[in-house]
Structure 1
Amino acid sequence: MQLNEITLTNYRNYTQLSLDFSPKLNVFVGDNAQGKTNLLESIYVLSLTKSHRSNHEKEIIAWNQDFARIKGLVGKKNSNIELTMIVSSKGKKTKVNGLEQSKLSQYIGHLNVILFAPEDLSLVKGSPQNRRKFLDMEIGQINPKYLYYLSKYQTVLKQRNQYLKKMAFQKKHDPLYLDVLNEQLATSGSVVLKQRLYFVQLLEKWANEIHQKISFGKENLAILYKSQMSLTSELSESDIYKLLLHDLKQAEDKDLNQLTTTVGPHRDDLVFMVNEQNVQTYGSQGQQRTTALSVKLAEIELINEELGEYPILLLDDVLSELDDDRQVQLMEFIDNKLQTFLTTTSVGHLEDKLKIKPKIFYISNGEVERISDDIDR
């Protein structure tokens, strides 16, 4: 899979821009606040319909403009696909080969990307919410069914929480209605949980192999799915449904007291273990960064295993956050394997690390000033 070309209209500080890319390595070079990360972000938004930098899609619309549009031509094994993503005051609109898609789950998955940005180094040390978001975004790319049931789960969860608050204030409730909400939540939640368990099992296999290589065989990495429920990967969706329904029923008094749903995938987390110790709590900064890097690289292999094609890799100024050894490991992993887009403030430090001939885009003030196939010396 590769992104052959992209066209931006009214996207942040780009009024109009059209570029075609190398199938291997593309480097966006520029000082801070010139637009290199905006360009990388546009590829992410084209893939997943949302930004990794903002929760409000309208922020990508250029100042004093009514809409922003991203159009990309994606090359896959057996076909070329044109993707279009439009954001306006009316919301989002997505098209595949010119045909508007009524559901995001019908659109997401046509262009698979893995983003590695400085904030991803906090995947290990950051909040459980960040790790749940990581699971949702990555599983959603390879399994549209997951996005569909996650959306249903979130809708029912909101209804249940609203009803809990209503019950508390009115001092009365309809137990049958709560039972219906519990059943709906367990139905969608069991699909979400089953897919998460499957994904984590595959992720651990690849991440441990990569982690061992980066640590020169000194460390083993295990990834555990942490839940209040007694979950194992061997459980079927039906088994998980029964467990979740039982736990939701058991937690009703507690939920009424706290005015929120305390059980379910929205409360779960990931735990990373290096040599059987929790790296979030006891690991060094180097171990935490190696773990984050291993997980990101594992995603690449996992997507290839599941879909039969490598995704596109987006590296947003991440090399500056890694030491020389990890930079070398990362660039060796990329070597001729998948299309990569990389942002940096300078390219001189890359010369000794690159085995791939890059296509370099020099960016200033929302414009690509020039394009080169050689690193400036």
Structure 2
Amino acid sequence: MRVEELEVSQFRNIERLNLACPGDLHLFIGANAQGKTNLLESLYVLALGKSHRARSHRELIRWNQPAARLAVRIRRGDRLHRLEVRLSERGKQVVRNGVEQRRLSEYIGTLVVVLFAPEDLDIVKGSPQVRRRFIDTEIGQISPAYVYHLTRYKQLVSQRNSLLKELSGRRQADAALLEVLDEQWIETAVPVWKKRFEFVRSLSERAGRIHRAISRGVEELKVLYAPSVDLDEKSSPETWKQQLRRELPRIREQEIRRGSTLLGPHRDDLRLIVNGFDLFAYGSQGQQRTAALALKLAEIELIHREIGHYPILLLDDVLSELDDHRKTHLLETIRDRVQTFVTATSLEGIGKETLERARIWRVEGGTFTELR
């Protein structure tokens, strides 16, 4: 998979940019708040139809402008694809090969990206929500069905929570409706759980191997999926459904009292274990950085296995966060396989061999000047 050309118009602080992207390594240098991350964000939005750091698409439109437009031409094997995202006060449009896509599940997956930024350390030390977003983003890019089920699941949780709040005042009147929502919730939650279990199992296998190499065989990493209800991963989906039908009535009064759905994929977590110890509670910063790097490199492998193409790698100011050993492992792993877009405040600390094969731009005030 290769990005061949990127067009950005009225996006963040970038007024207009047309970027040809031959080669595997593209390096963007500049001070903070000049637009480097905005360039990577544009590729992320083109891949997933949404930003990783903005709550509303309106935040992405350049100040005092009515609309923004992003477009990219990519090559997957011997096929060319063109994606376009149009943002305005009226809403957002996503277009693939000239045809507007009504659902994100029909759009996501043509351009696949892996973003690695300093805040990705939060995958290890942050909240469960951060870890859920991590797995949902990656699974969504390789499974349109997952996007559909997850979207439907979130809608049902919202409807169920609203009804639970109402039931605290008039329980009998809507009890039958809650039972209907329960069954719909179960039917949607189970495929989400199934796909997450599969993904985490594959992720753990690959991340463990990579982590051993980075730690020179000293540390063993395991990634475990931690559902909010005691599900046996080896059981069938039908067994899970039966278990949930028993579990929901047991916590009914508690859910009504709190007005909230108390179990399900929206309350699950990941556990990262190194040599038997939980990294969240006991890991050093170095161990946490190694685990985060191993997870990101494992993502690349897993995506390649699933879709037959390597994703585009977006490295947002992370080289300065890694020591020489981790940095070397990262660059050697992706070399000549993964097209990579890198941001950094300077060229300091980047090896001569890496610089010789990179295209380099200076970024200042949203303007991109090619240095070589």
Normalised-by-shorter TM-score class: over 0.9
Counterpart of 1:270 in structure 2 is: 270
Worse-superposed segment, 263-272 or 223-232? 223-232
Change (3 A) 1:65 1:285: same
* Partners of 2:235 and 2:78 in 1: CA distance: 36
**Other structure's SS at 1:350 match:** coil
Equivalent position SS for 2:349: helix
User: Which amino acid counterpart does residue 312 of structure 1 have in structure 2?
Assistant: I
Instruction: Tell me, in whole angstroms, the C-alpha distance in 2 between the residues paired with 1:142 and 1:356.
Output: 33
Measured in 2, the distance between the counterparts of 1:198 and 1:139 equals: 10
Residue identity in the other structure for 1:344: A
- 8 Å contact kept, 1:70–1:85: yes
Task: Kindly provide the amino acid, as one letter, of the partner of residue 306 in structure 2.
Answer: E
Q: State the Cα deviation string for residues 257-305 of structure 1 (Å, max 9, x = none).
A: 2110101111100000001111111111111111111001100000001
Question: 1:61-210 residue pairs with structure 2 within 5 A?
Answer: 61-210=61-210
Three-state SS of the structure 1 residue aligned to 2:31 is coil
The residue number in structure 1 matching 2:8 is: 8
Structure 2 residue runs without a partner (length 5+): none
Determine if contact 1:244/1:264 at 8 Å carries over to the other structure: no
Q: Are 2:48 and 1:48 equivalent residues in the alignment?
A: yes
Partner of residue 364, structure 1: 364
- For the Cα contact (< 8 Å) 1:251–1:263, is it kept in 2? no
Give the CA deviation at 1:232: 3.4
Gaps in structure 1 of 5+ consecutive residues: 373-377
Higher deviation after alignment, 57-66 or 163-172: 163-172
User: 2:287 maps to which residue?
Assistant: 287
Cα distance, 1:345 vs structure 2: 0.9
Q: Aligned ranges for residues 298-337 of structure 1 at < 5 Å? A: 298-337=298-337
Q: CA deviation at 1:355?
A: 7.8
Pair 1:261-2:261 in alignment: yes
Q: Distance in 2 between matches of 1:73 and 1:371?
A: 23
CA contact (8 A) 1:210 1:294 kept: yes
- Tell me the distance in 1 between the aligned counterparts of 2:295 and 2:351: 26
Cα deviation for residue 170 of structure 1 reads: 3.3
Structure 2 length as normaliser, TM-score?
A: 0.97
Look up the SS of the partner of 1:292 in the other structure.
helix
> Could you report, residue by residue, the CA deviation over 1:32-84 in whole angstroms, capped at 9, with x for unpaired residues?
11111111110111101111121111111011111111000011013000000
Asked if 2 retains the 8 angstrom alpha-carbon contact of 1:194 and 1:240, the reply is no
Percent of matched pairs sharing the same residue = 45
Name the Cα RMSD after superposition. 1.3
Q: Within 2, Cα distance between the matches of 1:324 and 1:353?
A: 14
Structure 1 residue 253, shift from structure 2 partner? 1.2
8 Å CA contact 1:121–1:289 kept in 2: the answer is yes
SS of corresponding position for 1:65: coil
Listed one character per residue, the Cα deviations across residues 312-346 of structure 1 (whole Å, up to 9, x for unaligned) are 00000011111222111111111111100000011
Q: Per the alignment, in what secondary structure is the counterpart of residue 51 of structure 2?
A: coil
Query: Match of 2:249, as an amino acid?
Result: K
Q: Distance in 1 between matches of 2:85 and 2:16?
A: 15
Residue type of the partner of 1:43? Answer: L
Write the distance in 1 (CA, Å) between the matches of 2:19 and 2:351. Answer: 24
Output the amino acid matched with 1:103.
Answer: R
Give the superposition deviation at 1:174: 2.4
Q: Distance in 2 between matches of 1:117 and 1:212?
A: 22
Distance 1:209 1:22 in 2: 32
Amino acid paired to 2:190:
S
- Report SS of the residue matched to 1:23: coil
1:352 deviates by 4.2
